[in-house]
Structure 1
Amino acid sequence: EIIVAEFHKKIKEAFEVFDHESNNTVDVREIGTIIRSLGCCPTEGELHDLIAEVEEEEPTGYIRFEKFLPVMTEMLLERRYRPIPEDVLLRAFEVLDSAKRGFLTKDELIKYMTEEGAPHSEMAALENLPRKGPLGKTM
Protein backbone atom coordinates (compact mmCIF):
# COMPACT_ATOMS: atom_id res chain seq x y z
CA GLU A 1 0.00 0.00 0.00
CA ILE A 2 2.91 2.36 0.67
CA ILE A 3 4.27 1.48 -2.77
CA VAL A 4 0.90 2.22 -4.40
CA ALA A 5 0.68 5.57 -2.60
CA GLU A 6 4.20 6.43 -3.77
CA PHE A 7 3.31 5.48 -7.36
CA HIS A 8 0.15 7.61 -7.17
CA LYS A 9 2.21 10.58 -6.02
CA LYS A 10 4.73 10.17 -8.87
CA ILE A 11 1.98 9.70 -11.45
CA LYS A 12 0.12 12.79 -10.22
CA GLU A 13 3.31 14.89 -10.30
CA ALA A 14 4.14 13.78 -13.85
CA PHE A 15 0.56 14.35 -15.02
CA GLU A 16 0.37 17.83 -13.48
CA VAL A 17 3.39 19.01 -15.48
CA PHE A 18 1.22 18.73 -18.62
CA ASP A 19 -2.12 19.73 -17.08
CA HIS A 20 -1.84 23.32 -18.28
CA GLU A 21 -5.46 24.18 -17.44
CA SER A 22 -5.28 22.61 -13.94
CA ASN A 23 -8.45 20.65 -14.71
CA ASN A 24 -7.08 17.10 -14.34
CA THR A 25 -6.75 16.58 -18.09
CA VAL A 26 -3.81 16.47 -20.48
CA ASP A 27 -3.55 16.55 -24.24
CA VAL A 28 -3.51 12.97 -25.53
CA ARG A 29 -0.26 13.76 -27.40
CA GLU A 30 1.53 14.19 -24.05
CA ILE A 31 0.68 10.71 -22.70
CA GLY A 32 3.78 9.08 -24.21
CA THR A 33 6.02 11.68 -22.60
CA ILE A 34 4.31 11.20 -19.23
CA ILE A 35 4.58 7.41 -19.41
CA ARG A 36 8.25 7.56 -20.40
CA SER A 37 9.01 10.08 -17.64
CA LEU A 38 7.77 7.42 -15.20
CA GLY A 39 10.34 4.92 -16.49
CA CYS A 40 8.15 2.92 -18.88
CA CYS A 41 9.15 2.55 -22.51
CA PRO A 42 6.29 1.10 -24.57
CA THR A 43 6.61 0.78 -28.34
CA GLU A 44 4.55 3.15 -30.48
CA GLY A 45 2.02 0.33 -31.01
CA GLU A 46 1.77 -0.38 -27.28
CA LEU A 47 1.41 3.34 -26.60
CA HIS A 48 -1.44 3.53 -29.11
CA ASP A 49 -3.19 0.65 -27.29
CA LEU A 50 -2.65 2.34 -23.91
CA ILE A 51 -4.12 5.59 -25.17
CA ALA A 52 -7.16 3.72 -26.50
CA GLU A 53 -7.57 2.23 -23.02
CA VAL A 54 -7.64 5.60 -21.24
CA GLU A 55 -9.48 7.70 -23.85
CA GLU A 56 -13.13 8.58 -23.53
CA GLU A 57 -15.63 6.53 -25.56
CA GLU A 58 -15.96 9.59 -27.77
CA PRO A 59 -12.33 10.79 -27.97
CA THR A 60 -11.93 14.45 -27.01
CA GLY A 61 -8.19 14.77 -27.54
CA TYR A 62 -7.70 14.90 -23.76
CA ILE A 63 -7.06 12.24 -21.13
CA ARG A 64 -8.60 12.55 -17.67
CA PHE A 65 -6.39 11.84 -14.67
CA GLU A 66 -8.95 9.53 -13.05
CA LYS A 67 -8.85 7.24 -16.11
CA PHE A 68 -5.07 7.42 -16.46
CA LEU A 69 -4.18 6.77 -12.80
CA PRO A 70 -5.35 3.13 -12.46
CA VAL A 71 -3.86 2.09 -15.81
CA MET A 72 -0.51 3.73 -15.05
CA THR A 73 -0.47 2.34 -11.50
CA GLU A 74 -1.00 -1.18 -12.81
CA MET A 75 1.75 -0.65 -15.38
CA LEU A 76 4.22 0.40 -12.68
CA LEU A 77 3.21 -2.38 -10.28
CA GLU A 78 3.61 -5.01 -13.00
CA ARG A 79 6.88 -3.41 -14.15
CA ARG A 80 5.63 -3.38 -17.73
CA TYR A 81 7.57 -1.69 -20.50
CA ARG A 82 10.85 -1.55 -18.61
CA PRO A 83 13.67 0.26 -20.43
CA ILE A 84 16.35 -1.75 -22.17
CA PRO A 85 19.46 -2.30 -19.99
CA GLU A 86 22.40 0.02 -20.71
CA ASP A 87 24.73 -2.78 -21.84
CA VAL A 88 22.20 -3.87 -24.47
CA LEU A 89 21.81 -0.27 -25.68
CA LEU A 90 25.58 0.13 -25.87
CA ARG A 91 25.92 -3.02 -27.99
CA ALA A 92 23.13 -1.78 -30.29
CA PHE A 93 24.84 1.61 -30.61
CA GLU A 94 28.12 -0.08 -31.47
CA VAL A 95 26.38 -1.98 -34.28
CA LEU A 96 24.95 1.28 -35.66
CA ASP A 97 28.28 3.10 -35.27
CA SER A 98 30.01 0.94 -37.87
CA ALA A 99 32.70 3.61 -38.42
CA LYS A 100 33.60 3.38 -34.68
CA ARG A 101 33.46 7.18 -34.26
CA GLY A 102 31.68 7.07 -30.90
CA PHE A 103 28.70 9.06 -32.18
CA LEU A 104 25.96 9.06 -34.81
CA THR A 105 25.13 12.09 -36.91
CA LYS A 106 21.66 13.60 -36.67
CA ASP A 107 20.87 12.30 -40.18
CA GLU A 108 22.02 8.78 -39.29
CA LEU A 109 19.95 8.76 -36.12
CA ILE A 110 16.84 10.03 -37.92
CA LYS A 111 17.34 7.37 -40.61
CA TYR A 112 17.59 4.58 -38.03
CA MET A 113 14.61 5.87 -36.06
CA THR A 114 12.34 6.30 -39.10
CA GLU A 115 13.36 3.35 -41.28
CA GLU A 116 14.47 0.54 -38.95
CA GLY A 117 12.80 -1.53 -36.23
CA ALA A 118 9.59 -0.03 -34.84
CA PRO A 119 9.70 3.12 -36.98
CA HIS A 120 8.82 6.56 -35.65
CA SER A 121 7.64 9.43 -37.80
CA GLU A 122 10.41 11.91 -38.58
CA MET A 123 8.67 14.44 -36.32
CA ALA A 124 8.65 11.97 -33.41
CA ALA A 125 12.28 11.11 -34.10
CA LEU A 126 13.26 14.80 -34.01
CA GLU A 127 11.34 15.29 -30.74
CA ASN A 128 13.44 12.54 -29.16
CA LEU A 129 16.78 14.03 -30.17
CA PRO A 130 18.71 15.90 -27.51
CA ARG A 131 18.70 19.67 -27.89
CA LYS A 132 22.37 19.95 -26.96
CA GLY A 133 25.29 18.11 -28.44
CA PRO A 134 28.79 17.47 -27.13
CA LEU A 135 30.17 20.24 -24.93
CA GLY A 136 26.69 21.70 -24.51
CA LYS A 137 26.50 23.13 -28.04
CA THR A 138 22.94 23.66 -29.25
CA MET A 139 22.04 21.39 -32.15
Structure 2
Amino acid sequence: MDEEEIEIPVPINNELERRIAEAFQVFDHAGNKTIDLREIATIIRGLGCCPSEAEVQEIMVAIEDPQTPGSVHLSRFLPYVAQIITEHKYQPASPEQLLQAFQTLDQEQHGYLTKEYISTLMTQDGEPFTQDELDEMLEIAIDPHTQTVPYEYYINQLMVRLVC
Protein backbone atom coordinates (compact mmCIF):
# COMPACT_ATOMS: atom_id res chain seq x y z
CA MET A 1 0.00 0.00 0.00
CA ASP A 2 1.29 3.45 -0.98
CA GLU A 3 1.97 5.91 1.89
CA GLU A 4 -0.72 8.25 0.55
CA GLU A 5 -3.29 5.45 0.72
CA ILE A 6 -2.77 4.71 4.43
CA GLU A 7 -6.05 5.28 6.23
CA ILE A 8 -5.74 7.87 9.00
CA PRO A 9 -8.32 7.06 11.67
CA VAL A 10 -10.48 10.00 12.73
CA PRO A 11 -12.41 9.19 15.90
CA ILE A 12 -15.78 10.93 16.32
CA ASN A 13 -16.28 11.52 20.06
CA ASN A 14 -19.50 13.53 20.35
CA GLU A 15 -22.48 15.07 18.55
CA LEU A 16 -20.57 18.23 17.59
CA GLU A 17 -17.80 16.21 15.94
CA ARG A 18 -20.42 14.11 14.14
CA ARG A 19 -22.05 17.28 12.71
CA ILE A 20 -18.67 18.63 11.61
CA ALA A 21 -17.68 15.32 9.99
CA GLU A 22 -21.02 15.10 8.16
CA ALA A 23 -20.61 18.64 6.79
CA PHE A 24 -17.06 17.77 5.71
CA GLN A 25 -18.18 14.57 3.98
CA VAL A 26 -20.54 16.51 1.71
CA PHE A 27 -17.42 17.90 -0.01
CA ASP A 28 -15.30 14.73 0.21
CA HIS A 29 -16.04 13.66 -3.36
CA ALA A 30 -13.28 11.03 -3.48
CA GLY A 31 -14.30 9.50 -0.16
CA ASN A 32 -10.75 9.72 1.21
CA LYS A 33 -11.42 12.13 4.12
CA THR A 34 -9.78 14.94 2.13
CA ILE A 35 -11.35 18.01 0.57
CA ASP A 36 -10.27 20.98 -1.50
CA LEU A 37 -9.13 23.79 0.79
CA ARG A 38 -11.39 26.24 -1.06
CA GLU A 39 -14.44 24.50 0.44
CA ILE A 40 -13.49 25.44 4.01
CA ALA A 41 -15.46 28.71 4.12
CA THR A 42 -18.62 27.03 2.87
CA ILE A 43 -18.41 24.27 5.47
CA ILE A 44 -17.58 26.56 8.39
CA ARG A 45 -20.36 28.99 7.47
CA GLY A 46 -22.73 26.07 7.00
CA LEU A 47 -21.98 25.09 10.59
CA GLY A 48 -23.19 28.52 11.76
CA CYS A 49 -19.91 30.42 12.02
CA CYS A 50 -19.45 33.79 10.34
CA PRO A 51 -15.73 34.39 9.80
CA SER A 52 -14.52 37.22 7.57
CA GLU A 53 -12.56 36.34 4.43
CA ALA A 54 -9.33 37.25 6.28
CA GLU A 55 -10.27 34.88 9.11
CA VAL A 56 -11.06 32.14 6.57
CA GLN A 57 -7.57 32.61 5.13
CA GLU A 58 -6.07 32.22 8.63
CA ILE A 59 -8.04 29.00 9.14
CA MET A 60 -6.89 27.68 5.77
CA VAL A 61 -3.24 28.33 6.61
CA ALA A 62 -3.66 26.59 9.97
CA ILE A 63 -5.26 23.40 8.63
CA GLU A 64 -3.86 22.97 5.11
CA ASP A 65 -2.30 19.55 4.60
CA PRO A 66 1.48 20.13 4.29
CA GLN A 67 1.87 16.90 2.29
CA THR A 68 -0.77 17.85 -0.29
CA PRO A 69 -1.06 21.65 -0.59
CA GLY A 70 -4.50 22.87 -1.53
CA SER A 71 -6.28 20.20 0.48
CA VAL A 72 -7.21 19.43 4.06
CA HIS A 73 -7.72 16.08 5.77
CA LEU A 74 -10.55 15.49 8.22
CA SER A 75 -7.99 14.68 10.94
CA ARG A 76 -6.76 18.32 10.82
CA PHE A 77 -10.14 19.90 10.10
CA LEU A 78 -12.23 18.23 12.81
CA PRO A 79 -10.35 19.26 15.97
CA TYR A 80 -9.70 22.78 14.68
CA VAL A 81 -13.34 23.47 13.77
CA ALA A 82 -14.63 21.77 16.94
CA GLN A 83 -12.48 24.19 18.96
CA ILE A 84 -13.75 27.20 16.95
CA ILE A 85 -17.34 26.23 17.64
CA THR A 86 -16.75 25.32 21.29
CA GLU A 87 -15.05 28.67 21.90
CA HIS A 88 -17.94 30.49 20.15
CA LYS A 89 -15.61 32.19 17.67
CA TYR A 90 -17.08 33.84 14.60
CA GLN A 91 -20.61 33.98 15.99
CA PRO A 92 -23.25 35.68 13.83
CA ALA A 93 -24.62 39.04 14.90
CA SER A 94 -27.57 38.97 17.28
CA PRO A 95 -31.00 40.13 16.07
CA GLU A 96 -30.56 43.28 18.14
CA GLN A 97 -27.21 44.05 16.49
CA LEU A 98 -28.70 43.46 13.03
CA LEU A 99 -31.65 45.74 13.78
CA GLN A 100 -29.34 48.47 15.04
CA ALA A 101 -27.20 48.18 11.88
CA PHE A 102 -30.24 48.42 9.59
CA GLN A 103 -31.62 51.37 11.55
CA THR A 104 -28.27 53.14 11.20
CA LEU A 105 -28.47 52.68 7.42
CA ASP A 106 -32.13 53.78 7.36
CA GLN A 107 -31.46 57.36 8.37
CA GLU A 108 -35.04 58.47 7.63
CA GLN A 109 -36.43 55.55 9.69
CA HIS A 110 -38.75 54.19 6.98
CA GLY A 111 -38.40 50.63 8.29
CA TYR A 112 -37.00 49.45 4.97
CA LEU A 113 -34.07 49.91 2.60
CA THR A 114 -34.40 50.06 -1.17
CA LYS A 115 -33.15 47.17 -3.28
CA GLU A 116 -30.72 49.50 -5.06
CA TYR A 117 -29.30 50.91 -1.83
CA ILE A 118 -28.78 47.54 -0.15
CA SER A 119 -27.28 46.12 -3.37
CA THR A 120 -24.79 48.97 -3.54
CA LEU A 121 -23.86 48.59 0.13
CA MET A 122 -23.42 44.83 -0.10
CA THR A 123 -21.24 44.88 -3.22
CA GLN A 124 -19.14 47.99 -2.72
CA ASP A 125 -18.58 48.60 0.98
CA GLY A 126 -16.78 46.58 3.63
CA GLU A 127 -16.33 42.95 2.66
CA PRO A 128 -18.27 42.89 -0.63
CA PHE A 129 -20.71 40.13 -1.54
CA THR A 130 -20.34 38.27 -4.81
CA GLN A 131 -23.27 38.50 -7.20
CA ASP A 132 -24.36 34.98 -6.19
CA GLU A 133 -24.25 35.90 -2.50
CA LEU A 134 -26.22 39.09 -3.16
CA ASP A 135 -28.83 37.22 -5.22
CA GLU A 136 -29.23 34.63 -2.45
CA MET A 137 -29.67 37.36 0.16
CA LEU A 138 -32.12 39.38 -1.94
CA GLU A 139 -34.23 36.28 -2.63
CA ILE A 140 -35.10 36.22 1.08
CA ALA A 141 -34.82 39.93 1.90
CA ILE A 142 -36.77 41.66 -0.87
CA ASP A 143 -40.52 42.15 -0.58
CA PRO A 144 -41.69 41.25 -4.10
CA HIS A 145 -44.49 43.83 -4.02
CA THR A 146 -42.46 46.86 -2.91
CA GLN A 147 -38.98 45.79 -4.09
CA THR A 148 -37.63 46.96 -0.73
CA VAL A 149 -36.00 45.23 2.23
CA PRO A 150 -38.37 45.55 5.21
CA TYR A 151 -35.55 44.81 7.61
CA GLU A 152 -37.46 43.76 10.73
CA TYR A 153 -39.25 41.11 8.65
CA TYR A 154 -35.94 40.09 7.04
CA ILE A 155 -34.24 39.71 10.43
CA ASN A 156 -37.12 37.52 11.58
CA GLN A 157 -36.72 35.39 8.43
CA LEU A 158 -33.02 34.97 9.21
CA MET A 159 -33.71 33.92 12.78
CA VAL A 160 -36.30 31.33 11.67
CA ARG A 161 -33.78 29.87 9.20
CA LEU A 162 -31.08 29.67 11.88
CA VAL A 163 -33.37 27.82 14.28
CA CYS A 164 -34.59 25.29 11.69
Structure 2 length as normaliser, TM-score? 0.65
Q: Which amino acid aligns with 1:120?
A: P
Q: Which amino acid aligns with 1:39?
A: G
Alignment of 1:76-115 (within 5 A): 76-98=85-107, 100=110, 102-105=112-115, 107-115=116-124
Which secondary structure state, in structure 1, belongs to the residue aligned with residue 35 of structure 2? strand
Q: 1:131 to 1:59 in 2, by over 3 A?
A: farther
Deviation at 1:74, TM superposition (A): 0.9
Structure 1 unaligned residues grouped into runs of 5+: none
**Is 2:45 aligned against 1:36?**
yes
Q: Paired residue for 2:82?
A: 73
RMSD: 2.6
Give the % identical residues. 34
The structure 1 residue matched to 2:24, chosen from 3, 15, 18, is: 15
Which secondary structure state, in structure 2, belongs to the residue aligned with residue 129 of structure 1? helix
2:35·2:73 contact (CA, 8 Å) conserved in 1?
A: yes
Give the structure with higher Rg (CA).
2
